[in-house]
Amino acid sequence: MSADGTILVTGGSRGIGAATATLLADQGHHVVIVDIAPEPLVGTNAILWPAPFDVASEAAVVAGIADIEQAHGPITGLVNAAGVFGKMHTIDRVRMEQWDREVNIDLRGTFLVARSVGIGMAKRRHGAIVNVASVAGMTSGPIHAYTAAKAGVIQITQTLAAEWGRTGVRVNAVSPGFTRTAALEAGIASGALNKDLLASPTAMNRLVEPMEVAQAIAWLLSPRSSGVTGINLPVDAGYIAGTTWAAYGGLPEAPRS
Active site residues: 146
With contact defined as beta carbons under 8 Å apart, do 85 and 145 qualify? no
Rounded distance between C-alpha atoms, residue 51 and residue 2, angstroms: 26
Rounded distance between C-alpha atoms, residue 161 and residue 144, angstroms: 26
With contact defined as beta carbons under 8 Å apart, do 229 and 166 qualify? no
| DSSP annotation string for 30-57 | EEEEE-SS--PPTTS-PEE--S---TT-
What beta strand segments (E) does 54-132 contain? Answer: 75-80, 127-132
In sequence order, which residues have a C-beta less than 8 Å from that of residue 87 and are 6 or more positions away?
A: 98, 143
Helix count and strand count (H, E) for the chain? 9, 7
Burial 195-232 (b: 16+ CB within 10 A, else e): beebbebbbeebbbbbebbbbbbbebbbeebeeebebb
Inter-axis angle of helices 58-72 and 109-124, nearest 10: 40
In this structure, how many other beta carbons lie within 10 angstroms of the beta carbon of residue 18? Answer: 24
